[in-house]
Amino acid sequence: MAAQIHHLQCTFLPSYSTKKPSLELKPHFRSFKISASKSSTSSIAGRKLRAAVIGGGPAGSSAAEALAAGGIETFLFERNPPSVAKPCGGAIPLCMLEEFNIPLELIDRQVNRVKIFSPSNIAVDFGKTLKSHEFIAMLRREVLDSFLRSRAQSTGANLIAGLVTNLEVPTSPISPYIVHYTAKNNSRRSIAVDVVIGADGANSRVAKSIDAGSYTCAIAFQERIKLPDEKMEYYENLAEMYVGSDVSPDFYAWVFPKCDHVAVGTGTVCLKQDIKLYQRAIRERVKPKISGGKVIKVEAHPIPEHPRPVRVRGRVALVGDAAGYVTKCSGEGIYFAAKSGKMCGNAVVKASEGGMKMIDEGDLRREYLKEWDAKYISTFRFLDLLQRVFYGNNACREALVELCGDEYVQRMSFESYLYKKLADGDRWEDVKMVTNTIGSLMRSKILGKEMERLII
């Protein structure tokens, strides 16, 4: 017990400065003003490894749960109260329910019909091959995030309600990192830890603190619209996707059904300043289906377009949006956030032998980054290629929608989305699919450059 109290005294360090905490986070390599006892800086003998997870979204909560379950002393920081939702469509694949033990009662809608609309408004039923038990789960992020956070807490993670304002990076390989934060009661506090997992989203302060470099971002804009009952019925179990230069120069627009309303949104990378024009255009396209609806919320947020140049530095690892794990083409990030958090947490547990020894950058690279890249990098590259080929202009988009009508294409797409593994193909069908792809592109007069890109 005495050892426990001493340990808590070592880790929670009240900050006495009267200056306002700086929100501007430049890489921070200055030496510590806060002294820590020799035992906490030179080794972890007599105590467990301490980890701070910054951000309590799907990435952070999954990381914290894995760390706590594996015997690491874990501190999970979240600035928002449970009622605040991260701007998001809230669509997750079927495999996430089983893999992350997400109860069915958290799901608002089980979407088993998907329609894709071409620039000329040709609609294709994209969900024809879904089996009776298969669906895309639609949920509210405040519900999912609160659930995952509480579960991390009940596994043993200490949940700290507060805004992390600064991360002090040590100069020695065994000295602690100091996390400075503003607690709920506005008091400013600090805590010393051995390992940091940055799960603080697309505007990650942790990434800035370790000079992880930046990434290109899309901006996504979304309106939550409450529809009259008879209009909502149409979207009961249906999601819609729209492509065309009117709704986005390089992405798709969507109508996703939520608990008692629909989310109508769009995104773009290259013409962010025009995002409101594109939003107006998607509202125009769906006008008859949403007329009489009332906008109840407007939200916008960046979406990373590719992994950061640096995802591990020292004993700090980035996961989820902070690392840049959102797929192109589909804009999917929730599953990859939770998965990367879990993999990173497990990597720390493994390398530290259940929290018994200090870890280093090499451990994080080997046990987390290498494993992640081996599993997912080709998926990310493939979807990047698809986005470049098919979202480039309206002719390409017409070809994309035509292809989406093909049942084999649908089966392969849903198998890989819902189960996050490459579906077993059929050679003959694969040959037909390539022929159909070329046929669609040729009919859409996409020759030359676009074909070269497809082959590359």
Ligand X SMILES: Cc1cc2nc3c(=O)[nH]c(=O)nc-3n(C[C@H](O)[C@H](O)[C@H](O)COP(=O)(O)OP(=O)(O)OC[C@H]3O[C@@H](n4cnc5c(N)ncnc54)[C@H](O)[C@@H]3O)c2cc1C
Q: Which is nearer to ligand X, 188 or 301 (CB)?
A: 301
Stretch that binds ligand X, among 67-75, 208-216, 314-322, 343-351 (CB under 6 A): 314-322
Two tokens, residue 204: 């990650």
Burial of 434 (0-12, 13-18, 19+ CB in 10 A): exposed
Residue from 47, 66, 67, 87 touching ligand X (CB under 6 A): that is 87
Contact partners, residue 33, CB within 8 Å, separation at least 6: none
- Tokens 């070592």, residue? 10
Residue from 52, 65, 68, 90 touching ligand X (CB under 6 A): that is 90
Does residue 89 touch ligand X according to CB under 6 A?
Answer: yes
Contact partners, residue 47, CB within 8 Å, separation at least 6: 3, 7, 39, 40, 73
Residue from 261, 301, 308, 328 touching ligand X (CB under 6 A): that is 301
Does residue 220 touch ligand X according to CB under 6 A?
Answer: yes
CA 407 to chain centre: 29
Residue from 52, 56, 215, 241 touching ligand X (CB under 6 A): that is 56
Q: Is the distance from CB of 450 to CB of 426 less than 8 angstroms?
A: no
Two tokens, residue 292: 């009489």
What whole-number distance in Å separates Cα of residue 171 and Cα of residue 306? 29
Does residue 265 touch ligand X according to CB under 6 A?
Answer: yes
Two tokens, residue 306: 């590719």
Does residue 242 touch ligand X according to CB under 6 A?
Answer: no
Smallest separation, CB 220 to ligand X (Å): 4
Contact set for ligand X, span 343-402 (CB under 6 A): none
Smallest separation, CB 39 to ligand X (Å): 28
Q: Which is nearer to ligand X, 56 or 127 (CB)?
A: 56
CA dihedral sign of residues 313, 317, 322, 328 = positive
What whole-number distance in Å separates Cα of residue 444 and Cα of residue 388? 16
What whole-number distance in Å separates Cα of residue 9 and Cα of residue 37? 10
Smallest separation, CB 453 to ligand X (Å): 26
Smallest separation, CB 400 to ligand X (Å): 19
Contact set for ligand X, span 170-209 (CB under 6 A): 199-201, 205
Q: Which is nearer to ligand X, 197 or 349 (CB)?
A: 197
Please work out, in degrees rounded to the nearest 5, the angle formed at the alpha carbon of residue 24 by the alpha carbons of 215 and 303: 30
DSSP state of 32: P
Q: Which residue sits closest to ligand X, CB atoms considered? A: 333
Percentages helix, strand, coil for the chain, rounded to the nearest 5? 40, 20, 40
Q: Which is nearer to ligand X, 204 or 444 (CB)?
A: 204
Contact partners, residue 164, CB within 8 Å, separation at least 6: 54, 77, 79, 179, 180, 181, 200, 205, 206
Contact set for ligand X, span 332-351 (CB under 6 A): 332-335, 337
Residue from 44, 51, 54, 179 touching ligand X (CB under 6 A): that is 54
Does residue 324 touch ligand X according to CB under 6 A?
Answer: no
Element (H, E) at 123: strand 123-125
Contact partners, residue 244, CB within 8 Å, separation at least 6: 117, 118, 119, 281, 285, 394, 397
Does residue 318 touch ligand X according to CB under 6 A?
Answer: no
Q: Which is nearer to ligand X, 95 or 433 (CB)?
A: 95
Q: Is the distance from CB of 192 to CB of 178 less than 8 angstroms?
A: yes
Residue from 326, 389, 396, 404 touching ligand X (CB under 6 A): that is 326
Smallest separation, CB 254 to ligand X (Å): 8
Three-class DSSP category at 214: coil
Smallest separation, CB 263 to ligand X (Å): 8
Does residue 329 touch ligand X according to CB under 6 A?
Answer: no
Report the number of secondary-structure helices (H) and strands (E) in the chain.
Answer: 17, 19
Residue from 321, 398, 402, 406 touching ligand X (CB under 6 A): that is 321
Contact partners, residue 151, CB within 8 Å, separation at least 6: 61, 65
Does residue 257 touch ligand X according to CB under 6 A?
Answer: no
Smallest separation, CB 299 to ligand X (Å): 7
Stretch that binds ligand X, among 64-72, 113-121, 319-327, 377-385 (CB under 6 A): 319-327
Smallest separation, CB 300 to ligand X (Å): 7
Residue from 72, 164, 225, 364 touching ligand X (CB under 6 A): that is 164
Phi, psi of 47 (to 5 degrees): -145, 175
Does residue 55 touch ligand X according to CB under 6 A?
Answer: yes
Residue from 80, 129, 237, 245 touching ligand X (CB under 6 A): that is 80
Contact positions toward ligand X, by CB under 6 A? Answer: 54-60, 77-80, 86-92, 163-164, 199-201, 205, 220, 222, 265, 301, 303, 320-322, 326, 331-335, 337
